[in-house]
Structure 1
Amino acid sequence: MSAPAKANAQPVAGKSDLVAWFESGCKPAERFRIGTEHEKFAFTLRDLRPLPYEGGRDGPGIRDLLERLKAYGWAPVSETGNLIALSCPTGGSVTLEPGGQLELSGAPLETIHETCAETTSHHRNLKTVCGELGIGLIGLGFNPKWAREDIPWMPKGRYEVMRRYMPTRGTLGLDMMLRTCTVQVNLDFASEADMVRKFRVALALQPLATALWANSPFTEGTPNGFLSYRSHIWTDTDPDRSGLLPFVFEDGMGFERYVDYMLDVPMYFVYRDGRYIDAAGQSFRDFMAGRLPALPGETPTLGDWSDHVTTAFPEVRLKTYLEMRGADGGPWSRICALPAFWVGLLYDPTALDEAGQLVKDWTLAEMSDLRDQVPARALGTPFRGGTAGDVALEVLDIARRGLARRARLNSQGRDETCFLDVLFEIADSGRCPAEEHLEAYHGRWNGSVDPIFVEYAY
């Protein structure tokens, strides 16, 4: 989840300013960048428990981990006296999710090779720090062992607002906050028309990413009946701000139409003078008219708008770039695979055309059904006489050709297609990562999830 936007005190004079904010993301293809974010669960090696914020005699805390990471050139970011994030002068940040999940928000980079180097450096630093503290890290879509009440809350004002509001909108919102991890990639667009094409392809194909990365089959130590329980959770989190966005496929889709959507999404908060003011359920339209109950008489800035945009959670989210949000957290190899998957599809014009042709006659009902079934059935989900796995192989071929045409080589002369290898292995087998975990649970793990913290830790 996002930190407060960098201060932008420009007043919002009207709806056109909000449209212009999205338009400001347009850039020529030579300036397209790749921003990769991934979350992981931190736990004590002694008893596999999630870390509290403050450590003590019983063990380390998340704050201890952040303090030691500062030695690698990261600058501290505090809120009400608490260290809650780190920033890097060359780009990127390390932030805390509500339940202490640690997130690397990577810098905007030109190639996936650079993403790989960034991720590797981050994990190398973490391995050193965690080894000193007795901490482990694991990438999964959902915490496999601990109940919601066992997860400590992090001291961030944004989360206090959401903690109160989430249960009024769905039954699984607090689980989303405390017990899930994801990996996502942020990509650019050249124009409004380019944004719309990419948005439509990405929304249609997002269930395939969910299937390929499905990695959350356990809840509180036992199988939960899903392969991506993280994805299922979004179906009962908050209908006002999550799910498929049918209007994206309608005539007239553009920046203004997305502004209208965001104006209809109820607010969470307003950030002022280092604190979060609870505005949960209130209207940004009222804010623009000076009638916001939380701040009567005040009108918003573009910084407020930027913050508000981060409080919608659809499968693909528009900011001044597009966020791909469908994948469970996972191990190192699948972190770098996600940008490879989407860059191959969306940054090569021919691949984008091919992907657009593939999905152009998919109906909204078919896409909704695919999205609804994939959390439980992953690559085995029936689709148009075949399975989601069949479509995934076709899409991976498109992505591989797109990356080959990009021809971005590393120092050994390899292009970016190498990062898709792990996905072809999954798709060829027809078995997602969660199914491997379930096989181990019913076999060599003897009905325990504890071994997952050893076998799949970073």
Structure 2
Amino acid sequence: MARDVTDTTPIESREALVDWLAAGCKPSGAALRVGTEHEKIPFYSDTRAPVPYDCVDGRCGVGRLLEGVQEATGWTPIMDRDALIGLAQIDGGGAISIEPGGQFELSGAPVSDIHATATELGAHLSALAGVAKSLGVEFLDLGASPKWSRAETPVMPKQRYRIMAAYMPKVGSRGLDMMFRTATIQANLDFVSEADMVEKMRVGLALQPIVTALFANSPFLDGKPTGRLSQRSYIWLDTDRDRTGMLPFVFEEGFSFERYVDYALDVPMYFVKRGDVYHDVAGASFRDLLAGRLPQLPGVRATISDWANHLSTIFPEVRLKTYLEMRGADGGPRSHMTALPAMFAGLFYDSVALDQARQLTKGWSAEARQKLREDAPALALNATINGRSVRDVARDALDLAAAGLRRRAKTNAQGQDETIYLAPLERIVTEGRTLAERRLEAYHGPWGGSVDGAFSDCVIPF
């Protein structure tokens, strides 16, 4: 979750909200960019305990980790009152933030190709390595914390998270697990017009359960297997149905920026930020804020920052802002952090691949897409849609992405194109076995029926 926006420009009308989204359209001929976000779960390597924010019993935690990365990079501190809760790249590109349970996130800058994403990832981990090692901290490459209970999981000092944590149990049974015990990889992609946004959002939404299957990597919770390959994705099924899901209206005739605005306006708010204070307005209507009649803040009217921050609290499988966010993947190893943006760059940034991806998914009904969304966390590649296995659909999607990347012809210094980053996904499809299934085999084999093996085998190398 990137830093909150602080644009205090007043919003005068609903049309201004539509215009804000439409402003994301990139000009004809402009370079289309890719952004990558990834969360990593920290732990102390000697005790396998979670890492709190503050120093406790002589051991320093996430706050000191942020300070060390700031010293290494020179990035600008992001404060929540007197707590350091993130870092911003000086040129406004990337940002580092902390999720509610201490998950350490890089929200990468928009870059030209996946080679640049790989370079950015390497620089991030290099900056993190020295301070993490000095603190005895390592990071799990899983999509959910495998061992600690919710009560054992630390809480980060961010006002917005306190508001969200109080509200989540009112609207779903798993929202707190989502906040404190999951980690994800996301890819952010551009659009060039409203029609382009519509097509990419439809293809992206249809493919998110396929992504969930390919990237399934969270088979444990509370120290044991859950019976699912993506517990993270399962958790999202009952987090808060007002702000999550497959958005069937996107596939209806006439979907547009305006229609998404109407959807977002009807999603209950969490907070309104004024100065350094997050005002708890959980459950309130953004329409009331727009009209200046919010009961908790009478007379206060909406600003651009309120709108941008509100959109960041909506969590569908694909999220629309001034770009599109692909949100279906579990957290994973370094190779997965570059594989997700590579897959969607190949599908979205080549017109032939995008059209073929639309043909691949266009016959799927809303009911079929929803059933696949519900089946994917447990069945992964063995789930089916319209009589085809997810494994076969994934193979087709990866073939389309690879062809798109070859036509893009973005090469690195060794002359390799971006298809090299699809290798881990191609291996999964070829073997018919997800990373989660490999971890389960280790649990029942070398780990001796204990998730403690994850703290040596499922670690992100620096």
Same fold (TM over 0.5): yes
Within-5 A mapping of 1:102-121: 102-121=104-123
Give a deviation string over 1:124-152, Cα, whole Å, max 9, x none.
22222211111111121110000000011
Q: 2: distance between equivalents of 1:287 and 1:125?
A: 41
Instruction: Report if aligned partners of 2:2, 2:96 keep a CA contact under 8 Å in 1.
Output: no
- Between 141-150 and 83-92, the greater mean CA deviation after superposition: 83-92
Q: 2: distance between equivalents of 1:442 and 1:119?
A: 32
Instruction: Report if aligned partners of 2:292, 2:300 keep a CA contact under 8 Å in 1.
Output: yes
Q: 1: distance between equivalents of 2:90 and 2:2?
A: 18
Within-5 A mapping of 1:35-434: 35-72=35-72, 73-90=74-91, 91-434=93-436
- Where 1:36 maps in the other structure, the secondary structure is strand
Q: 2: distance between equivalents of 1:14 and 1:390?
A: 47
Q: 2: distance between equivalents of 1:109 and 1:121?
A: 14
- Where 1:451 maps in the other structure, the secondary structure is helix
Q: 1: distance between equivalents of 2:224 and 2:422?
A: 31
Q: Which residue of 2 aligns with 1:25?
A: 24
Give a deviation string over 1:267-320, Cα, whole Å, max 9, x none.
000000111000100001111111101210111011111111111100000000
- Where 2:448 maps in the other structure, the secondary structure is coil
Superposition TM-score, scaled by structure 2 size: 0.98
- Where 2:357 maps in the other structure, the secondary structure is helix
Give a deviation string over 1:252-274, Cα, whole Å, max 9, x none.
10000000000110000000011
> Counterpart of 2:130 in structure 1: which amino acid?
T
Q: 2: distance between equivalents of 1:93 and 1:382?
A: 38
Instruction: Report if aligned partners of 2:293, 2:300 keep a CA contact under 8 Å in 1.
Output: yes
> Counterpart of 1:284 in structure 2: which amino acid?
F
Give a deviation string over 1:436-458, Cα, whole Å, max 9, x none.
01111011110011111111211
- How many positions carry a matched residue from both structures? 457
Identity %: 53
> Counterpart of 2:276 in structure 1: which amino acid?
G
Give a deviation string over 1:344-400, Cα, whole Å, max 9, x none.
111111100000111111111111111110000000112333310011001000000
- Where 2:228 maps in the other structure, the secondary structure is coil
Q: 1: distance between equivalents of 2:387 and 2:19?
A: 44
What are structure 2's unaligned runs of at least 5 residues?
A: none
What are structure 1's unaligned runs of at least 5 residues?
A: none
Tell me how large the CA RMSD over aligned residues is. Answer: 0.9
Q: 2: distance between equivalents of 1:170 and 1:285?
A: 23
* CA-CA distance at 1:87 after TM superposition: 1.2
Instruction: Report if aligned partners of 1:144, 1:221 keep a CA contact under 8 Å in 2.
Output: yes
Q: 1: distance between equivalents of 2:387 and 2:24?
A: 40
Q: Which residue of 2 aligns with 1:11?
A: 10
- Where 1:226 maps in the other structure, the secondary structure is coil
> Counterpart of 1:76 in structure 2: which amino acid?
P
* CA-CA distance at 1:58 after TM superposition: 4.6
Q: 1: distance between equivalents of 2:445 and 2:141?
A: 22
Instruction: Report if aligned partners of 1:60, 1:134 keep a CA contact under 8 Å in 2.
Output: no
- Where 2:424 maps in the other structure, the secondary structure is helix
> Counterpart of 1:129 in structure 2: which amino acid?
V
- Where 1:450 maps in the other structure, the secondary structure is helix
- Where 1:150 maps in the other structure, the secondary structure is coil
Q: 2: distance between equivalents of 1:105 and 1:340?
A: 16
- Where 2:19 maps in the other structure, the secondary structure is helix
